[in-house]
Amino acid sequence: MILTFRGLLPTGNRDTLRLSTNTGTKGYRIVKFEIMSALPYQAGDEHIVKIYKTEEAVNGTINFSDSRLLAAAIINNDSAGYRYTSNPVSIFDKEIFNQDIYVTHHNSDGTSAVNYYIELEGIKLDSNETAVATLKNIKNRG
């Protein structure tokens, strides 16, 4: 089963994607993550969108050592396109989670919003997998 989410996220904001259940026997894995500026080629926009396992502060820092980070995408929306590629760059973590996730947006050089599209693969968890996913979530929140 594939579950999809999409939204428009203003800079400096966060969306919560509700996934948790009472039993925790439903797990998820990110299979697709895309972003697109709400105002294409608005001079100076540089969008940084991240997906976390826990509620995090919105900022422009990407740290792959952070065990709470599930995915990150950046897009340079500048019409000159001289700083980075103007195509989104996405990183995925194949980790299975069974709790809510959080999408953050920081525009490091502008004020426009960004669209996001996320596909999650639903996975039925056995009792051992449920315990591991739940304990990892508790550890990350600690």
> Quick one: pLDDT at residue 109?
83
Tens of pLDDT along the chain (142 residues)? Answer: 999 999 999 999 999 999 988 888 899 999 999 999 898 877 678 899 999 999 999 999 999 999 899 999 998 876 665 555 556 778 777 888 989 999 999 998 888 999 999 999 999 988 887 777 777 766 666 5
CA–CA gap between residue 56 and residue 68 (Å, rounded): 9
Q: How many domains does the chain have?
A: 1
Single pTM value for the model: 0.86
Q: Using alpha carbons only, how large is the chain's radius of gyration in Å? A: 16
CATH number for the domain spanning 30: value is 2.60.120.340
Chain centre to alpha carbon of residue 14: 10
Q: Which residue range forms the structural domain that includes residue 21?
A: 2-141
Residues near 126 by beta carbon (within 8 Å), at least 6 away in sequence: none
